[in-house]
């Protein structure tokens, strides 16, 4: 095997393997933790509709563009920009933004995944049994304040990600997703079916699909929907370029992208059904917001099902979602090291994992040792999340849309993208050309504060 050569890159075993892995990347904490609480805060219905439109006009076109770039070049994000536009010094910078974003997001994603692992373990022990809302909140506060536990979990999760990614594309990433994704889907289906049938399924449905409540939706909400469409589909940071680069010639860009987007949206909506059916069956005002997953839900699930096994099942599901996303973040950095720095996979993985672990330490300490270390009111954890989600991803996404829409030769794109489902090529390219960039620029103007709404 030649270090850094084509042989050390690897390929998916089939179109299905690719779709499963890319769906694994897309489906993560964004779907099960963030989407339900953001939708709840924005009043449901109208927000969901706007979100679906954003997925169609921003998420889907960029998904196709990224997968196209990867498949066409067979390279990491930096190499992909470089190969499609020879002798440009500027465009590969967009690839670097992606690698830096992958790096930064994984450093805190690993910390949060560690929280999920802890909740799986305590659910089995029945620790939270009979806790009131206030007691659950106190437990969570206490937990994040324990420095050694936080570091230990962060370390353990990085170890899991490293183990999977070291095994390579087919034997590591694809195989892990082939186990995690079907299990995740089945568990979600069972828990959702149960909670909808026995609790407030109807209210949950009305909350999500009553599209006439647009009075509840602020302009801030609209931009939040737009921003989230990047995060949830793993766009703007080269994850889909990287996964696309392991496709073989028998696999196709357009159908692949469509299945991934549909699966991601369906799982987000299912998570909402599950969570709201439980939430709405309690009269008292229950806490929404970011604490929904770790504070509000465990107590409620146990209260209504009477079984700690359901709580454990729920957190295992979240853990699978988190791991399958995290490995794609790690793979972006690893692919960069293999392709650009020409090192072997094992070296690339160790190098990336150690550096990401170190960068994650201040995030793990943001709620304990370093909780007083605030820069303009934000702790380290919040900064990394803020910079990555609000700056790096939109800039990465905009660069990809402009690059594939305006810079890459139309014939090159057409040849690859229209190999299957040809009729979608023209509408896709039209949206990517004109509509997607404008919408992303709006998000950026809002984030930078230039546009104050």
In sequence order, which residues have a C-beta less than 8 Å from that of residue 57 and are 6 or more positions away? 431, 435, 436, 439
Q: Which one among 237, 265, 312, 408 touches ligand PHE, defined by CB under 6 A?
A: 237
Our CB check for ligand PHE shows the closer of 310 and 329 to be 329
Contact window for ligand PHE (CB under 6 A) among 228-236, 248-256, 340-348, 416-424: 228-236
Contacts of ligand PHE in 193-212 (CB under 6 A):
none
In the complex, least distance from residue 450 CB atom to ligand PHE, rounded to whole angstroms = 25
Three-state secondary-structure class, residue 378: strand
Please tell me whether residue 110 adopts helix, strand or coil conformation: helix
Task: Tell me if 90 sits within 8 A of 403, measured CB to CB.
Answer: no
* Closest to ligand PHE by CB, 251 or 331: 331
Q: Which is nearer to ligand PHE, 63 or 286 (CB)?
A: 63
Out of 31, 177, 195, 242, which residue is the one contacting ligand PHE (CB under 6 A)? 31
Answer yes or no whether residue 29 interacts with ligand PHE by CB under 6 A: yes
How many Å apart are CA 361 and CA 368, to the nearest integer?
11
**164: contact with ligand PHE by CB under 6 A:** no
Stretch that binds ligand PHE, among 26-34, 136-144, 187-195, 295-303 (CB under 6 A): 26-34
CB of 320 to ligand PHE, least distance (A): 12
At its nearest, how many Å lie between ligand PHE and the CB of residue 189? Answer: 19
Residue 286 or 317 having the CB closest to ligand PHE: 317
Q: CB under 6 A: which stretch of 134-142, 226-234, 276-284, 307-315 binds ligand PHE?
A: 226-234
Return the number of the residue (110 or 296) whose C-beta is nearest ligand PHE: 110
CB of 281: closest distance to ligand PHE in angstroms?
27
Q: How many other β-carbons are positioned within 10 Å of the β-carbon of residue 326?
A: 27
Place of tokens 């939708």: 39
Residues 260-299 that bind ligand PHE (CB under 6 A): none
* Cβ-contact 299, 128 below 8 angstroms: yes
Q: Which of 67, 184, 239, 279 binds ligand PHE (CB under 6 A)?
A: 239
**C-alpha span between 185 and 179 (Å, rounded):** 11
Per-residue three-class SS string for 222-253: HHHHHHHHHHHCCCCCCHHHHHHCCCCCCCCH
Percentages (nearest 5) of helix, strand, coil residues in the chain:
75, 0, 20
Residues 323-362 that bind ligand PHE (CB under 6 A): 325, 328-329
176 binds ligand PHE (CB under 6 A): no
Out of 25, 72, 400, 413, the only residue in the binding site for ligand PHE (CB under 6 A) is: 25
Of 28 and 77, which CB lies nearer to ligand PHE in the complex structure? 28
Specify whether the CB–CB gap between 401 and 30 falls below 8 A: no
Distance of CA 122 to the CA centre of its chain: 25
Q: State in angstroms the smallest separation of the CB of 396 from ligand PHE.
A: 10
When asked if residue 28 is in the footprint of ligand PHE (CB under 6 A), the reply is yes
**328 vs 366 by CB, closer to ligand PHE:** 328
- Chosen residue from 161, 231, 381, 425 binding ligand PHE by CB under 6 A: 231
Please provide the DSSP assignment of 304-371 as one string.
Answer: HH--HHHHHHHHHHHHHHHHHHHHHHHHHHHHHHHHHS---HHHHHHHHHHHHHHHHHHHHTTTTTTT
Per the CB < 8 A criterion, the answer to whether 340 and 76 are in contact is: yes
Q: Which of 42, 104, 136, 232 touches ligand PHE (CB under 6 A)?
A: 232
Asked if 257 is part of the footprint of ligand PHE (rule: CB under 6 A), the reply reads: no
Q: Closer to ligand PHE by CB, 27 or 217: give it.
A: 27
DSSP helix/strand/coil, 375: strand
Following DSSP, what letter does each residue of 2-39 receive, concatenated?
Answer: -TTSGGGT---SSHHHHHHHHHHHHSSHIIIIIHHHHH
Distance CA 265, CA 267 (A): 5
> Per rule CB under 6 A, is residue 26 in the interface with ligand PHE?
yes
**What residues numbered 104-123 form the site for ligand PHE, per CB under 6 A?**
105
Distances in Å between the Cα of 389 and the Cα atoms of 181, 383, 413 are: 25, 10, 28
Which region, judged by CB under 6 A, interacts with ligand PHE, from 77-85, 155-163, 322-330, 337-345?
A: 322-330
Positions in the binding site for ligand PHE (CB under 6 A): 25-26, 28-31, 105, 231-232, 234, 237, 239, 325, 328-329
């Amino acid at each position: 095997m030649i270090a850094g050569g084509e042989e050390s890159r690897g390929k998916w075993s089939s179109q299905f393997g690719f779709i499963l892995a890319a769906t694994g990347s897309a489906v993560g904490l964004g779907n099960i933790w963030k989407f339900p609480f953001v939708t709840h805060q924005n009043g449901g219905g109208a927000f969901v509709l706007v979100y679906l439109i954003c997925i169609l006009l921003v998420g889907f076109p960029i998904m196709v563009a990224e997968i196209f770039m990867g498949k066409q070049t067979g390279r990491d994000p930096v190499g992909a920009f470089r190969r499609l536009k020879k002798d440009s010094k500027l465009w590969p910078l967009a690839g670097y933004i992606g690698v830096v974003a992958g790096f930064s997001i994984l450093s805190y994603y690993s910390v949060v995944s560690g929280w999920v692992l802890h909740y799986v373990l305590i659910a089995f022990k029945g620790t939270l049994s009979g806790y009131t809302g206030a007691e659950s909140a106190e437990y969570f506060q206490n937990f994040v304040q324990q420095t050694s536990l936080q570091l230990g979990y962060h370390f353990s999760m990085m170890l899991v990600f490293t183990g999977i990614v070291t095994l390579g594309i087919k034997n590591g990433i694809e195989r892990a997703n082939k186990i995690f994704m079907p299990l995740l889907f089945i568990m979600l289906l069972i828990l959702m079916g149960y909670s909808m049938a026995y609790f407030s399924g109807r209210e949950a449905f009305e909350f999500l699909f009553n599209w006439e409540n647009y009075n509840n939706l602020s302009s801030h909400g609209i931009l939040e929907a737009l921003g989230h469409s990047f995060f949830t589909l793993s766009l703007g940071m080269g994850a889909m370029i990287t996964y696309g680069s392991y496709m073989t010639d028998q696999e196709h860009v357009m159908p692949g992208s469509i299945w991934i987007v549909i699966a991601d949206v369906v799982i987000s909506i299912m998570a909402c059904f599950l969570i709201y059916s439980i939430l709405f069956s309690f009269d008292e005002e229950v806490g929404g917001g970011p604490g929904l997953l770790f504070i509000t839900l465990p107590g409620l699930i146990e209260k209504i099902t009477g079984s700690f096994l359901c709580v454990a099942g729920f957190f295992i599901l979240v853990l699978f979602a988190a791991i399958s996303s995290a490995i794609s973040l790690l793979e972006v950095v690893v692919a960069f090291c293999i392709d650009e720095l020409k090192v072997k996979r094992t070296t690339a993985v160790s190098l990336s994992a150690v550096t990401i672990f170190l960068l994650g330490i201040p995030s793990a300490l943001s709620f304990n040792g370093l909780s007083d270390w605030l820069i303009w009111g934000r702790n380290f954890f919040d900064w990394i999340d803020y910079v990555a989600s609000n700056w790096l991803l939109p800039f990465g996404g905009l660069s990809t849309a402009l690059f594939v829409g305006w810079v890459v030769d139309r014939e090159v794109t057409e040849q690859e993208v229209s190999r299957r489902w040809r009729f979608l090529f023209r509408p896709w390219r039209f949206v990517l050309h004109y509509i997607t960039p404008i919408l992303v620029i709006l998000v950026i103007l809002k984030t930078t504060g230039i546009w104050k709404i």
